[in-house]
A and B are shown apart, each in its own frame.
Chain A
Amino acid sequence: MTESKKTTRRRTRARSAAVPSELKPSNGDGEVKVQKAVAALEEISVSLPNPAVEKPALESDRPGAAAENEQEIPVEQLQQQLLQELNDLIARLKELSPAFAPAQFPAAQNVIEAAQGILGKANFEKLRSVAGDLLDLDTWKGAWFIANQMAQLQANTLQRRLHGEYETDEWGMDPEVLEAVTPFFEFLYRKYWRVTMTGLEHVPDTGRALFVVNHSGQLPFDGAMLASGVKLDHPRNRLVRTMFASWFPTLPFAAPLLVKCGQVLATEDNGVRLLENEELVSVFPEGYKGVGKLYKERYQLARFGRGGFIRMALKTRSPILPLAVVGAEETYISIAKSDVMAKLIGFPYFPITPTFPLLGPLGVIPMPTKWYIDIGEPIPLDGYNSRADQNLMLVSQLTDQVRGVVQKMINERLAQRKSVFRG
């Protein structure tokens, strides 16, 4: 508050010095203008941002006890006084030279007013107050303090990690890395794709479950959004272990990042082991065929692998949670696929979109569509006998059945959706 009042006062003084010289001789509407100016001043003082909130570190060490006492007079009273003084002044000037007509209001002022109109008063004033802060020594002291603190913290963390002083679980999941990337995915989840998640109540608080999800969107953001959703919005904030394809371990940086975030290579052994450890596992049985779909094939499920996920669930008697992601298909519009490019650079597929590879890295920015993630009713699999996972007929039947459920959920959501970007 101290800061706010002080700034206002400073400005008030500046006006009271400037305004009379502009309006020295006046012809009546001077009074109106002054009233306008004061009204504007009032508005400004209301809409002024409170720098004390932005710079909590600085408030405590500001030596301002003396200044505070003299500012006990409320701002409104000061404004009234100023208005009175100005009106008196104008009245006196009118008596001295009644023939005087004031010059046009300075053009610069009009420009500023126009700019204020465009930018919005709050922004403009914020800018001015920031500029004022930049001239304040305390700002720099505070910035220096914070920068030092941050550098120290970063250096310590880096030092510790370079010396290997951190913990990972047996799969290589590193909680520190997971925590570090969470804000980015939270931004994508809440702000960028504005994901609406339904059916979270089907996700168990403890114990195993297998998510079976449709894959889409050229880049596997759907897995990341599902995991973020369960981590951020589920009451137990559980970690979902997404299973990734065997192409990812060959990629530098992506491979360790995925592993450190708790993701696991998609093999049957890994899945069974995770489920036996009572974890949440998500699989994308469509694989590359699903994620690399062309735009015209969107929301049509591809083949569901070879039923490995059903065997995983049967072996461990885990419930299957069918899951439909809608909105991810439109993040990139894949017009065609280039097999030659894919073979050349060793990618499983190489999509061509209106922006990629035309715009290079810029073309990789996904579109901010509105996403829905719907978690369906669990499909229990504990009614089957212990050797059911070796029954090929049963496995293929169950695979088709789950595929049907997911497709139906997608179709239902698509029928409800009105707009790709608004939902």
Chain B
Amino acid sequence: MTEQRVVVVDGVAGYWGGRVAERLLAEPELHVIGLDTEPPQQGSGIDFIQADMRNPLLVELLKEEKVQTYVHLAFLGSERPSETAFDFNVMGSMKVLSACAEAGVTRVILKSSTLLYGAQPGNSAFLREDHPLNAKRNFGALRDLLEIENFLAAFRSQSPEVKLTVLRFAHILGPTADTPLTRFLRDDTAPMLLGFDPVVQVIHEGDVINALAHATLNDVPGTYNVAARGAMPLFKLAGLAGKFTLPVFHPFAYLGESFLGPQFTPIDFDYLRYPCVGDLQRMREDLEFEPAYLAEDAVREFAALRKQKAAAPAMTPQEAEEERLRVIIERRKNIRQQAASGSSTRPQPRGHPEADAVAESADSSLYEEKSQ
């Protein structure tokens, strides 16, 4: 039997952990161990171990199983800063990383966010990975990510033998994921700001999975911004996604936020006011990854599915299905045309299992707890 690389994915009961583990199972050279406090929804042939990653015996486990790669995706999303989430996310990550260093795990893959750069008036149009992390700390999930990233800087110098791959994703968008952006776009009452239209970057959920798998399979240490090509103005994004809101004059919006707290809006108003766009040069040249979805295609797909759900009585299922398929065909045609014109180094379209899985997993509330 050939030697299989052992990969641990934690948080497999959550959305991202589960999806990534499923994706890695398809790779023959990997042996995937799933780790979580509760079993995943569908037993998918994964080698599941029920354990808390904060358990001190994690070191023993990693040593015993000769783990080489650790994909750390366990993360509790929270809007308000919360102690429980902080303990799980930040302390948990610190324990995982120190256990990895102790047990001789060579590579750790982490999922982070470009929002950590913070939306500020003085931001360049494209922020490189070395831009300081200036995000505000009023949103729970972002604050925790910021703490983790700050810890990573210290960890890198302490344990240089562990190679870290940090993928900073832009706003994630997709038919099944539950992220701040999808919540924002689904909620017609979530306000936008009057007279502000920053350029925003998005990435399709399938490309997030692919990027994490790509980072697991290839030896690409470092920090990378990952986003789809074609950043677009916020109002264009909302228009394409079929979200219509009356824009709010910004002092009122900030006033509302300070009274009602962060759950007033799924995305902090700063991100609706100032640009926070990552530079994708390193993603293309060093990570050698190109998302399959263009930003516009990802939004159109999201909009088509949203329409399908919203207009269920008006639209027969067949019509909605046709509409969805039309979007997919259009997207694949676009990709092929671009590949043919030779202007880009885009990969050929790959099959996205999530596109087919959409119908089954319509109830994304299952993942609400564990997804960011």
Residues of A within 8 A of B230 (CB): 170
Q: Which of A13-21, A98-106, A252-260, A352-360 contacts B (4 or more CB under 8 A)?
A: A252-260
Q: How far is the CA of A51 from the CA of B233 in the complex (A)?
A: 46
Which single member of B125, B126, B233 contacts A168 (CB below 8 Å)?
B233
Q: How far is the CA of A165 from the CA of B123 in the complex (A)?
A: 27
Contact call A265/B123, Cβ cutoff below 8 A: yes
Distance from B126 Cβ to chain A, minimum over Cβ atoms (Å) = 7
**Nearest B residue (CB) for A274:** B125
Report if A247-B125 is in contact (Cβ < 8 Å); known contacts: A164-B237, A256-B196.
no
Contact call B126/A273, Cβ cutoff below 8 A: yes
Contact call A168/B195, Cβ cutoff below 8 A: no
Size band of the B side of the interface?
A: 20 to 34
Contact call A164/B240, Cβ cutoff below 8 A: yes
| Interface residue A422 (Cβ < 8 Å from any Cβ of B) | no
**Nearest B residue (CB) for A162:** B239
Distance from B122 Cβ to chain A, minimum over Cβ atoms (Å) = 4
Distance from A275 Cβ to chain B, minimum over Cβ atoms (Å) = 13
Contact call A249/B274, Cβ cutoff below 8 A: yes
Q: How far is the CA of A251 from the CA of B244 in the complex (A)?
A: 23
**Nearest B residue (CB) for A253:** B195
Residues of B within 8 A of A70 (CB): none
Q: How far is the CA of A171 from the CA of B126 in the complex (A)?
A: 9
Distance from A158 Cβ to chain B, minimum over Cβ atoms (Å) = 11
Residues of B within 8 A of A92 (CB): none
The binding surface of chain B is classed by DSSP as loop
| Interface residue B197 (Cβ < 8 Å from any Cβ of A) | yes
A-B pairs under 8 A by CB, number:
83
Contact call B236/A265, Cβ cutoff below 8 A: no
| Interface residue A264 (Cβ < 8 Å from any Cβ of B) | yes
Contact call B238/A171, Cβ cutoff below 8 A: no
| Interface residue A161 (Cβ < 8 Å from any Cβ of B) | yes
Residues of B within 8 A of A164 (CB): 232, 235-241, 299
Q: How far is the CA of A259 from the CA of B196 in the complex (A)?
A: 10
Which single member of A166, A171, A251 contacts B125 (CB below 8 Å)?
A171
Report if A255-B199 is in contact (Cβ < 8 Å); known contacts: A166-B236, A246-B121, A265-B123.
no
Residues of A within 8 A of B242 (CB): 163
Contact call B125/A265, Cβ cutoff below 8 A: yes
**Chain A residues bordering chain B, tally (CB within 8 A):** 29
- A-contact bits for B196-234, CB 8 A (1 contact / 0 none): 111100000000000000000000000000000011110
Distance from B244 Cβ to chain A, minimum over Cβ atoms (Å) = 7
| Interface residue B364 (Cβ < 8 Å from any Cβ of A) | no
Residues of B within 8 A of A165 (CB): 239-240
Contact call A269/B126, Cβ cutoff below 8 A: yes
Residues of A within 8 A of B194 (CB): 252
| Interface residue B159 (Cβ < 8 Å from any Cβ of A) | no
| Interface residue A250 (Cβ < 8 Å from any Cβ of B) | yes
Residues of A within 8 A of B193 (CB): 252
Contact call B196/A255, Cβ cutoff below 8 A: yes
| Interface residue A270 (Cβ < 8 Å from any Cβ of B) | yes
B residues 74-127 touching A (CB-CB < 8 Å): 121-126
| Interface residue A237 (Cβ < 8 Å from any Cβ of B) | no
| Interface residue B5 (Cβ < 8 Å from any Cβ of A) | no
Residues of B within 8 A of A366 (CB): none
Q: How far is the CA of A374 from the CA of B134 in the complex (A)?
A: 42
Q: How far is the CA of A249 from the CA of B124 in the complex (A)?
A: 11
| Interface residue A172 (Cβ < 8 Å from any Cβ of B) | yes
Which single member of B124, B233, B249 contacts A172 (CB below 8 Å)?
B233
Which single member of A247, A249, A252, A256 contacts B233 (CB below 8 Å)?
A256
Which single member of B121, B199, B240, B274 contacts A247 (CB below 8 Å)?
B121
Interface residues of A (CB under 8 A from B): 161-166, 168, 170-172, 174, 246-247, 249-256, 259-260, 264-265, 267, 269-270, 273
Further 9 A-B residue pairs, CB within 8 A, beyond A164-B241, A166-B236, A255-B197: A161-B239, A163-B239, A164-B237, A249-B274, A256-B233, A260-B233, A264-B125, A265-B122, A267-B124
Could you list 25 examples of A-B contacts with CB < 8 Å?
A: A162-B239, A162-B244, A163-B242, A164-B240, A164-B241, A164-B299, A165-B239, A166-B236, A168-B199, A170-B125, A170-B231, A171-B125, A172-B233, A252-B195, A252-B249, A254-B195, A256-B195, A256-B197, A256-B233, A259-B233, A265-B121, A267-B122, A269-B124, A269-B125, A270-B124
Interface residues of B (CB under 8 A from A): 121-126, 128, 193-199, 230-233, 235-242, 244, 249-250, 274-275, 299
Ranked 10 nearest A-B pairs via Cβ:
A252-B195, A164-B239, A164-B240, A256-B197, A249-B121, A253-B195, A269-B124, A164-B236, A246-B122, A267-B124
